[in-house]
Amino acid sequence: MQGHHNQLIQAFSFSALLFLCASLFPNFITYTQHGITQVVSLWQALMLLADHYSYFLAGLFAFTILIMPIAVSLLLLLAHTNYWQVLNAHNARHLAKLLSVLKPLNLTDIFLVAVLVSAFKLMSFAELEMGLGFWAYILFVLCFIEALSLFDHEFMWRNQTQCNLNLIEPKENATTLPAVLKRCKVCGFLGEGDKCQRCYAKLKYRKAQSIQKSLAWMLTSVVLLIPANFLPIMDTISLGLHTPATIFSGVQVLWEDGSYPVATLIFLASICIPALKALLLSYLLIRVKIPKDPLKATKVYRLLEFIGRWSMIDVFVVIILVSLVQLGTVLNVEPEIGIVFFTLMVLCQIAAVNSFDPRLLWDKNNQ
């Protein structure tokens, strides 16, 4: 049964790599305005972004559509082959740790939604045709997400024979109360001492200065929220006419054009969710100091983890429009300073959630 499971992950991971490569160079999108047609591939869009605009946005674009998916797919393939079982323990630990870090950074589905939102925006002033690269990218996202959903983190570690040699299991009478056992944040192994016996990561009872770090990141994101929402995030230049757009004005234009679902999505992801995350994280910090209903607070934390990355939609929309829409004096889209503030705000909120240790919600309850 496990062999069939491994074969499924291998098949989906390999298919994801093939479809990703197939999406890079063929036509991704064709758009026409005032009789001028431009055909753009994902690779051309990336090169244009890096050559003419922002290395910061280009790096984010490259990491999202290339570096992270390729690295994770290759690691998934390796971790579900016979070679993984006998791989040198030192190398296996490093590769498994890398996969543990990269897997939560999956934004491919968010990028695909951003492509669809961008297409709705472009249809208001240009004729669009989605090319072979676009359909290949959809198939890549489906295969990649399925491979990730089938992946079993604990099985990967247990299946690595060399990492489990001489592994000392916790004593039968060992307990976490008082805190004798520590759970490794990398491989999940329960152990004693200062170092994980399986992956050699440092073991800690709780994240150091979790409350202070979460509060600092959250306050920084709140400060950045103001320029992120009120400064222009992009400038559309059509026949020499500049039209700067903030997040608010972008939502308003979409709503007036009748794109109600897209306008609602952008409003929720870019305006409501950042504000909601700040409020919910404040609630969690209060619940650490004033313990009450830790189960409910833990569910709030899980919700924060889930919704955090969806705020990246607007960032990707700007990246896509800037890298695709370049028709000279007829139609251009250029990034503005607001998108930098917005990206930093989203990253600060993600850091705030990641810095928070949900086990703190239960500590006083268990005393």
Q: Long-range contact list for 181-186, CB < 8 A, 24+ apart?
A: 186/96, 186/97, 186/100
Going by pLDDT thresholds of 50, 70 and 90, the confidence category of residue 161 is low
Is the peptide bond prior to 244 cis by the omega test (within 30 degrees of 0)? no
pLDDT in tens, 140-158: 999 999 998 888 877 777 7
Position with higher pLDDT, 170 vs 267: 267
Sign of the torsion angle spanned by Cα atoms 226, 335, 349, 208: negative
Query: What is the reported pLDDT for 13?
Result: 92
**Which residues have a Cβ under 8 Å from the Cβ of 285 and sit 6 or more positions away?**
211, 214, 215, 218, 356
Query: What is the reported pLDDT for 328?
Result: 60
Q: How far apart are the first and last CA of the chain?
A: 43
Residue 128 tokens, joined: 């669009």
Q: What percent of the chain has pLDDT over 70?
A: 87
Put the strands of the sheet holding 127-130 in their side by side order: 36-40, 29-33, 127-130
CB 96, CB 79: distance < 8 Å: yes
CA distance 203 to 195: 5
CA distance 54 to 61: 10
pLDDT in tens, 248-266: 877 787 777 776 777 787 7
Please check the confidence at residue 320 and state whether its pLDDT lies above 70: yes
Going by pLDDT thresholds of 50, 70 and 90, the confidence category of residue 74 is very high
Going by pLDDT thresholds of 50, 70 and 90, the confidence category of residue 365 is low
CB 285, CB 214: distance < 8 Å: yes
Q: What percent of the chain has pLDDT over 90?
A: 12
Please check the confidence at residue 359 and state whether its pLDDT lies above 90: no
Going by pLDDT thresholds of 50, 70 and 90, the confidence category of residue 17 is very high
Please check the confidence at residue 178 and state whether its pLDDT lies above 50: no
Residue 161 tokens, joined: 């024979």
Going by pLDDT thresholds of 50, 70 and 90, the confidence category of residue 337 is confident
Domains of the chain: 1-166 (1.20.140), 174-205 (no CATH), 207-367 (no CATH)
Query: What is the reported pLDDT for 71?
Result: 92
Query: What is the reported pLDDT for 139?
Result: 95
If you average pLDDT over residues 102-126, what whole number do you get?
82
Q: Highest mean pLDDT: which of 26-30, 54-58, 96-100, 135-139? A: 135-139
If you average pLDDT over residues 223-238, what whole number do you get?
82
pLDDT in tens, 20-58: 999 999 988 887 776 777 788 888 888 887 776 667 778
Sign of the torsion angle spanned by Cα atoms 15, 20, 23, 29: positive
If you average pLDDT over residues 194-199, what whole number do you get?
78
Please check the confidence at residue 367 and state whether its pLDDT lies above 60: no
**Which residues have a Cβ under 8 Å from the Cβ of 334 and sit 6 or more positions away?**
53, 234, 235, 237, 322
CB 77, CB 153: distance < 8 Å: no
Position with higher pLDDT, 313 vs 279: 279
CA distance 309 to 347: 9
